């Protein structure tokens, strides 16, 4: 499957413009290509009780299931200026849970696999009964 990184980043930027970030003033948008060939997106949604805010990656995964599920093939995340952002550790774990084998991420240091940005990850495969 060919990945149009320009289109993916454009969708992340479009999502970022819908972010609700009145406390941090740091809007974030994320977009991903699924194994079904669809582009999904999400944005951060803050809350006055800071700890219950949602990252853009959280809303993206919610959107993944809202549209019927699947696995994430490629991912892009941007800040309020449209610059590439690296997902935090928590969000990398969230992305890992829903990744297609070899998932690619547009990072601040270039395109990397999910395995490179979260080496030795713990995932659903570790919970399977042997």
Can you tell me the distance from the alpha carbon of 106 to that of 112, in angstroms, rounded to the nearest whole number? 7
Short-list 124, 69, 79, CA closest to 106: 79
- Is 57 a residue of the active site? yes
- From the list 46, 57, 97, 125, the catalytic residue is 57
Q: Which two tokens stand for residue 94?
A: 């969230």
Is residue 79 within 8 Å of residue 26, measured between CB atoms?
A: yes
Catalytic residue set: 57
């Amino acid at each position: 499957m060919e990945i149009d990184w320009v289109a993916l980043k454009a969708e992340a930027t479009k999502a970022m413009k819908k972010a609700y970030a009145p406390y941090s003033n740091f809007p974030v948008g994320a977009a991903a290509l699924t194994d079904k060939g669809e582009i999904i997106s999400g944005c951060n949604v803050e809350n006055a009780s800071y700890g219950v805010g949602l990252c853009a990656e959280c809303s993206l995964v919610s959107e993944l299931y809202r549209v019927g599920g699947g696995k994430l093939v490629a991912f892009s995340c941007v800040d309020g200026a449209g610059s590439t952002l690296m997902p935090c550790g928590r969000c990398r774990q969230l992305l890992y849970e829903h990744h297609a084998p070899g998932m690619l991420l547009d990072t601040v240091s270039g395109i990397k696999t999910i395995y490179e940005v979260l080496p030795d990850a713990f995932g659903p495969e570790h919970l399977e009964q042997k």
